[in-house]
Copies of this chain bind each other. A is one copy, B any other.
Amino acid sequence: MTYCLGMLVQGGLIMMADTRTNAGVDNISSYRKLRVFGGDGKRLIVVCSAGNLSTSQGALQRMMRGVPNPETLEMDSWQSVPSIYEAARAAGRAIRLARDGNDSLDQSAGVNFDASLLVGGAIDGEAHRLFLVYSEGNVIECGPDTPYLQIGEAKYGKPMLDRALRFETTPEEALKIGLISFDATMRANLAVGLPIDILVSRAGGARIDVQHRIEPSDAYFRDLSQRWADAMIAAVDGVPLPPYAGPA
């Protein structure tokens, strides 16, 4: 399992991914799921991946080398795509190539080779954009009404995003809300775990403003986790007891 979160707020793009990969609970490893291409101020593409590791790695490999674009008859790669939209669409084709290749190897048809991606960033002066690439290869874009996209184990960490995150939220505040969302997810699903990779790119540039790996020893994240746990208990205590009594 995996949890990846992309947030696109007025002030910039925030992307986050855990690093735990598992094939059953008895086979757990750490793999980087947040990858950065560029960051020189002209081209920044940030990719988070969830799902079958062979498929997502296969798709990223293909995007390094180039995948055919049936509309332009050119080869699209991270280095060549003219926009984040085209990066996401090319990554969708790469996912399909990798997934279909894996499916053809699986004679039992019993393995799920699905994988999905978040692709965000900015190219050649465009505003930051953020897309979710589904396993089928189609893409959807993040918009200001719901300024985030999730892949992987999305449900445990969704409630606080819906309550606290707005398009007007600052990138620092969004990063904090995202870490609370990760904390909730990691407490509920052992297949999502530290370290967490985070990246922030402020609006108006294709630069990496924050890039950090949160390790288990991270003091800020431990404090956040404890404060959140205490606040949850206090919030429960603050609600009066129910008035319901007696059989209907």
Specify which of B158, B172, B180, B231 is in contact with A231 (CB 8 Å cutoff).
B231
* Contact, CB under 8 Å: A236 / B177: yes
Min CB gap A216→B, angstroms = 16
A212 vs B243: C-alpha distance when bound (angstroms): 10
Give chain A's interface secondary structure class.
helix
State whether the Cβ of A224 lies closer than 8 Å to any Cβ in chain B: yes
State whether the Cβ of A136 lies closer than 8 Å to any Cβ in chain B: no
Specify which of B39, B163, B238 is in contact with A227 (CB 8 Å cutoff).
B238
* Contact, CB under 8 Å: B156 / A244: no
* Contact, CB under 8 Å: A236 / B158: no
A162 vs B234: C-alpha distance when bound (angstroms): 14
Q: How many residues of A contact B (CB 8 A)?
A: 50
* Contact, CB under 8 Å: A159 / B173: no
A155 vs B243: C-alpha distance when bound (angstroms): 27
Specify which of B156, B163, B243 is in contact with A232 (CB 8 Å cutoff).
B163
Chain A interfacial positions (CB closer than 8 Å to B): 39, 155-156, 158-160, 162-164, 172-173, 175-177, 179-180, 184, 187-188, 198, 208-214, 220, 223-224, 227-229, 231-236, 238-248
Specify which of B39, B156, B212, B224 is in contact with A159 (CB 8 Å cutoff).
B156
* Contact, CB under 8 Å: B231 / A235: yes
Residues from chain B with Cβ under 8 Å of A177 in the complex: 236
* Contact, CB under 8 Å: B180 / A239: yes
* Contact, CB under 8 Å: A244 / B210: yes
Which residue on chain B has the smallest CB distance to residue A229?
A: B163
Residues from chain B with Cβ under 8 Å of A232 in the complex: 159-160, 163-164, 235
A213 vs B247: C-alpha distance when bound (angstroms): 11
